[in-house]
Amino acid sequence: MSIVAERLARIKPSQTIAVTAKARALKAAGRDIIGLGAGEPDFDTPDNIKQAAIRAIQQGQTKYTDVDGTPELKRAVCLKFKRENGLEYKPEQVSVGTGGKQVIFNAMMATLSPGDEVIIPAPYWVSYPDIVLMAEGTPVFVECGAESGFKMQAEQLERAITPRTKWVMLNSPSNPSGAAYTYEEMKALTDVLVRHPHVWVFTDDMYEHLVYDGFTFVTPAQVEPALYDRTLTVNGVSKAYAMTGWRIGYGAGPVQLIKAMANVQSQSTSNPSSISQAAAVEALVGPQDFIKERAEVFRQRRDLVVSMLNQAAGIHCPRPEGAFYVYPSCAGTLGKTTPNGTVLNTDEDFVTYLLESEGVAVVQGSAFGLAPHFRISYATSTEALEEACRRIQRATAALR
């Protein structure tokens, strides 16, 4: 009898983390590797946020806190939702977890029973389906190709809903594609959801502040107030505030759901780090002007990467509305042969070729549920991006 639980057979390790780990290992072995797999800003956490954490340590804020967040942080989250999204929440409607991933995990564990379905547009963040499977739910994938801007259409959502549908997961701007829903596009989806009152809405807004070219971000409960009582709006400080390692995510929704999520968290990790929570308060209520400045740098990097990739043979790269990812197609390289005689049959073959031949680490589109594509994170230096794109151009030019 195996010591490993059967439930683990349903899931696989995060492939984005695996690519990053492989790139680090090769770099440690002396290879010249440019890692474009990690979804992590290269900017440092702002000093005022660091200082808030230092003050918290000096003031002895090193004890347990309430299981799902301090009152101070919950109030700060409520202020953020009111200020930026026009959404009114009370502290008892807020749950704080160790990163956005834990908030998602808590929500699915608290609500899914065997056979419950969760609609997930593809491409999707790699963890969505595995979290659903871990909670004994059934992922239902809706393929959203480049022809629709990697966005789910209202008629696709309508067709995917069944009596067993418990949740629909929305992520805008998207990881991995960077696609973001306009007000009109989101309204078309919320109009469908209003007609199906048994379906709850999970929205991952982690990249909310990273939108470009005058794009206006919207979130479902803001677009359609009728969905407020069955929407969990999730966000965090990781991306906009460059606080990935601080591990603070949060969600707001109906009190009954938030209490159920707190029950899950109370028997797993208990509270997030008290020091990280103090820092997150400062992030949400302190100066916000640096966010736009950094977003402009990301926009410039996006434009550079899109331009250079579209000059690579066999690659087509759409220009995304937000986040810090591009999701190019590598269909034009498949069926071709590498200089060492290997035929590229899949996007996984292609990314392996990039890593082995040119030392560029990216993630294959099949990891995100839509092939043949690959994801590049441009949350790294402009110099590294330029060199990586030159290497990709060289690698594709060498194919026959």
Query: What is the pLDDT, as a whole number, of residue 337?
Result: 98
Is residue 261 domain-shared with residue 350, that is, in the same domain? no
- Same structural domain, 181 and 259: yes
- Cross-strand partners of 142: 121
Residue 124 belongs to domain spanning: 63-286
* 375 sits in which H/E element: strand 374-377
**25: part of which helix (H) or strand (E)?**
helix 15-28
Strand pairing partners for 140?
119
Inter-residue contact 255 to 94 (CB < 8 Å): no
**Considering the domain boundaries, does residue 318 fall inside one?**
yes
Beta bridge partners of 248: none
Q: What angle do CA 134, 366, 309 make, to 5 degrees?
A: 140
Q: Which of the listed residues 238, 265, 286 is the one where a domain comes to its end? A: 286
Contact 96, 73 (CB under 8 A): yes
The whole-number pLDDT of residue 14 equals 74
Which amino acid appears at position 200 of this protein? W
Domain boundary among 235, 264, 286: 286
pLDDT of residue 38: 84
Residue 76 lies in a domain: yes
Residue 339 confidence (pLDDT): 97
DSSP 49-112: HHHHHHHHHHTT--S---TT--HHHHHHHHHHHHHHH-----GGGEEEESSHHHHHHHHHHHH-
Among candidate residues 286, 311, 345, the one where a domain is terminated: 286
Please indicate, yes or no, if residue 22 is contained in any of the structural domains.
Answer: yes
Question: Would you say how long the chain is, in residues?
Answer: 400
pLDDT along the chain (400 residues), means of 10: 85 75 82 90 97 98 98 98 98 98 98 98 97 97 98 98 98 98 98 98 98 98 98 98 98 98 98 98 98 98 98 98 98 98 96 94 96 97 97 98
Task: State residue 19's pLDDT score.
Answer: 73
Instruction: Assess if residue 269 is contained within a domain.
Output: yes
Residues 296 and 166 in one domain: no
314 in the same domain as 270: no
Residues 6+ apart with CB under 8 A from 192: 154, 157, 158, 161
pTM of the model: 0.96
**Residues 118 and 181 placed together within one structural domain of the fold:** yes
CB 194 within 8 A of CB 180: no
Q: Are residues 261 and 387 in the same domain?
A: no
Residue 120 domain-assigned? yes
Same domain for 311 and 249?
no
Are residues 305 and 277 part of one domain? no
Q: Output helix, strand, coil percentages for the chain, rounded to the nearest 5.
A: 45, 15, 40
CATH number at residue 342: 3.90.1150.10
Q: What is the pLDDT of residue 158?
A: 98
Are 278 and 327 in a shared domain? no
Instruction: Tell me how far apart the alpha carbons of residues 128 and 307 are, in angstroms, rounded to a whole number.
Output: 30
**87 and 170 in a common domain:** yes
Work out how many domains the chain is built from and give that number.
Answer: 2
Transcribe 296-365 into DSSP letters: HHHHHHHHHHHHHHTTSTT-B----SBTTEE--B-GGGTT-B-TTS-B--SHHHHHHHHHHHH-EE-EEG
Q: Give me the pLDDT at residue 309, please.
A: 98
Residue 252 lies in a domain: yes
CATH number at residue 280: 3.40.640.10
Q: Is there a single domain that holds both residue 224 and residue 117?
A: yes
Q: Residue 386 domain-assigned?
A: yes
Residue indicated by tokens 């090193």: 62
Domain membership flag for residue 58? no
Is residue 296 located within the same domain as residue 188?
no
